[in-house]
Amino acid sequence: MEKRDYLSGPAILPKPIEAGVGAADLVDHAYLAYNGGRLREACELLVRKMLDANATVGLSLTGALTPAGLGMTCLIPLVEAGFVDWIVTTGANLYHDAHFGIGLDMHRGRPHLDDTELREAGVVRIYDILFDYDVLLETDAFFRRIMAGDEFQRTMGTAEFHWLAGKYVDEREKALGREGTSLLAAAFRAGVPVFTSSPGDSSIGMNVAEMELRGYSLRINPNRDVNETAAIVLDAKRNGRSGEGDGGTSGMLILGGGSPKNFLLQTEPQIQEVLGLEEEGHDHFLQITDARPDTGGLSGATPGEAVSWGKVDPAKLPDAVVCYCDTTIALPLLTAYALDRREPRPLARLYDRLEELYGRLRGAFEEKLGGRGPEDVVPIE
**CA 64/CA 128 separation, integer angstroms:** 11
Residues written for the chain: 381
The residue extents of the domains of the chain are: 22-93+135-368
Q: What percent of the chain has pLDDT over 70?
A: 96
Residue 344: φ, ψ to 5°:
-55, 150
Residue 343: how many other CB atoms lie within 10 Å = 8
- Whether 167 is a known active-site residue: answer no
Mean pLDDT of 266-294: 91
Confidence check: pLDDT of 374 > 60: no
Mean pLDDT of 295-316: 73
Superfamily of domain 22-93+135-368: Deoxyhypusine synthase (3.40.910.10)
Q: Which residues pair with 194 in a beta bridge?
A: 87
Confidence check: pLDDT of 379 > 70: no
Tell me what pLDDT residue 294 has. Answer: 74
**For 224-270, what is each residue's pLDDT tens digit?**
999 999 999 999 999 999 888 889 999 999 999 899 999 999 999 99
Catalytic residue among 237, 261, 311, 316: 311
Mean pLDDT of 67-71: 97
Contact 253, 192 (CB under 8 A): no
* Coil vs helix vs strand at 250: strand
Confidence check: pLDDT of 59 > 60: yes
**Mean pLDDT score across all residues of the chain:** 93
pTM as predicted: 0.93
Between 103 and 320, the higher pLDDT residue: 103
